[in-house]
Structures are given as C-alpha cells and as structure tokens.
C-alpha cells in the first residue's frame, strides 16, 4: 500500500469539562501539528497517491476555521468533548468529504500536542 503525508498546524483554545482532565478542565490553549496521511492500494495513472499540493490544500482548508478559535464555541463541535482524539476525527471527516471522489483506501489524521504526546484517528474509505 502506498501513502503520502502532509503537515500543517493549528492553534486552538478549548476546555475539557470532565473531572478526569484535572487542570485541563479549564480553558487552555494548544498548538497541534496536524499530519494527514493518505493511502492507496495502487498508484494513480500519474504514479502518485495524490498531488502533494492538493493534499496540503485539503488539509489547510479543513483547519481554516479551527485556527485561533475557541473550540468550545465552534458550532460544528457543539456538545463534543474536544479531546485530541475527537478533534482528529472531526478533521478526518472533513478531509474525507473533500476527497470523496479519489481512489483512496484510508486516511489517518494525527494531532501532535508536543514531541512526546499525540493522538489520531484512522478512517477506512470506500
């Protein structure tokens, strides 16, 4: 299987109002390095998974209205506990919608909070 990864970043604020999150229950900020990996079983006729520029544009578009935003106030995340895992899924769903017409088999979104901690979401396509 072939894959291609692009990176971007997003700066957000949010709170995690559940006792298991300790001080993160309060409003705080995070800067995520966001990695999008796209997978194909076979290469396209151009011998690529997808154009790198296009993949970068799709990721940038998926992040645009999250950057410098309090996720607690984002209308599409209302009622969501915006853990790193949940935000990764949200981004993955946006990307999948943008790339629905591609012959991709899988996508992974990884959010890196710092060099020692990250979480992600994998979505099987088709």
d(CA 30, CA 84): 10
pLDDT at 126: 76
In the chain, the number of structural domains is 1
Eight-class DSSP state of 95: H
Domain that holds residue 38: 2-124
At residue 37's C-alpha, the angle toward residues 3 and 9, to 5°, is 145
pLDDT at 119: 98
pLDDT at 27: 97
Give the E-state strand segments of the chain in sequence order. Answer: 2-14, 28-40, 69-70, 106-114, 117-124
Count CA atoms within 13 Å of residue 40 on its CB side.
17
Q: CATH code at 45?
A: 3.30.479.10
Q: What is the pLDDT along the chain (126 residues), one digit of tens a residue?
A: 999 999 999 999 999 999 999 999 999 999 999 999 999 999 999 999 999 999 999 999 999 999 999 999 999 999 999 999 999 999 999 999 999 988 999 999 999 999 999 999 999 997
Element (H, E) at 83: none
Output the pTM of the full model.
0.96
């Amino acid at each position: 299987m072939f894959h291609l990864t692009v990176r971007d970043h997003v700066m957000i604020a949010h709170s995690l109002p559940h006792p298991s999150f300790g001080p993160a229950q309060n409003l705080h900020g995070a800067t995520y390095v966001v990695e999008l990996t796209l997978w194909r079983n076979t290469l396209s006729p151009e011998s690529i998974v997808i154009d790198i520029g296009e993949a970068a544009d799709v990721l940038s578009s998926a992040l645009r209205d999250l950057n410098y935003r309090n996720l607690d106030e984002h209308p599409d995340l209302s009622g969501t506990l915006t853990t790193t895992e949940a935000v990764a899924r949200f981004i993955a769903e946006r990307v999948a919608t943008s790339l629905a017409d591609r012959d991709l088999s899988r996508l992974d979104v990884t959010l890196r909070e710092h060099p020692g901690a990250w979480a992600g979401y994998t979505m099987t396509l088709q």
